[in-house]
Amino acid sequence: MKHLTICAAFLLLNVVTAQATEVSHDGATVDSAKVALIAQTTPLLQLQQRWAQINYGSEDKESAFKALLKQAKSAVLTDPNNPELLIWQGIIQSSTAGALGGLSALKYAKAARKSFEHAMHIDENALTGSAMTSLGVLYHKLPGWPISFGDDKKAAQLLTRALEVNPHGIDPNYFYAEFLFDNKDYANAAKYLQKAKMAPPRQNRPLADEGRQSDIAALEKKLKEKV
């Protein structure tokens, strides 16, 4: 069984998962130019950059994500039909669930699903299909009924649709590779992981790219042990 406990399942939600000290995934100091990006003023960029700080840093993720979620909700309240802000509200809700673990995480996971579905209803291609990627990860990572709404069939549908929208993106390729790895399809997992590794950098998101490349390297190591 892929998910033996609720807590273990939510600990896997590192995408959909936090640090104010600007350190990289492996603890190295991040270049000051990357820190300067935080000063940019759009609500979306602020959420994206702060999320990367928390997700790939060392501060307390639970409290940091909860604080960031308040900021995301305020941004969405100001612009309630903005699919990009809804997507990031969902990502932060998912990450809060991952930081919490256990039964207390369930309400955040359900709220994230609503945020992603709302964003998709407005524009499923917003942020190059990020709502589909993130919702697919939720369906894959979470336990199934009766504990939660996890469903690998739905996960596969969403993750492959996201790849149709953004075939060269780092996140859709990485998370589909992870999905395939978890389902023991190691050959195809390696293919998509290589695509993720070669993905073009994302504008204004160097810390997120650096952290995801660390995730890719970790999954590559696991793959080498299987083949």
Residue 103: predicted pLDDT? 87
Predicted TM-score of the model (pTM):
0.83
The answer to whether residue 60 is domain-embedded is: yes
Residue 62 lies in a domain: yes
CA 140 centroid distance within chain:
12
Q: What is the DSSP letter of 200?
A: P
Q: What b/e sequence results for 86-116 when a residue is b if at least 16 CB atoms lie within 10 Å of its CB, and e otherwise?
A: bbbbbbbbbbbbbbbbeeebbebbbbbbebb
Q: Is residue 46 situated within a structural domain?
A: yes
Domain count, the chain: 1
Got the DSSP string for 39-82? G---HHHHHHHHHHHHHTS-S-HHHHHHHHHHHHHHHHHHSTT-
Q: Residue 156: is it exposed, middle or buried by C-beta count within 10 angstroms (0-12/13-18/19+)?
A: middle
Question: What CATH code is carried by the domain that includes residue 180?
Answer: 1.25.40.10
Is 1 a domain residue?
no
Phi, psi of 29 (to 5 degrees): -70, 135
- Tell me if 150 is assigned to some domain: yes
Give the chain's count of helices (H) and strands (E).
11, 0
- Count other Cβ atoms within 10 Å, centred on residue 187: 10
Nearest CA to 112 out of 59, 150, 58, 146 is that of 150
Q: In which domain, by residue range, is 20 found?
A: 6-226
Strand-pair partners of 23: 29
pLDDT in tens, the chain (227 residues): 443 333 334 333 443 433 222 223 333 344 444 444 444 579 999 999 999 999 999 999 999 999 999 999 999 999 999 999 999 999 999 999 999 998 889 999 999 999 999 999 999 999 999 999 999 999 999 999 999 999 999 999 999 999 999 999 999 999 999 999 999 999 999 999 999 999 999 989 999 999 999 999 999 999 999 87
Domain-embedded: residue 49: yes
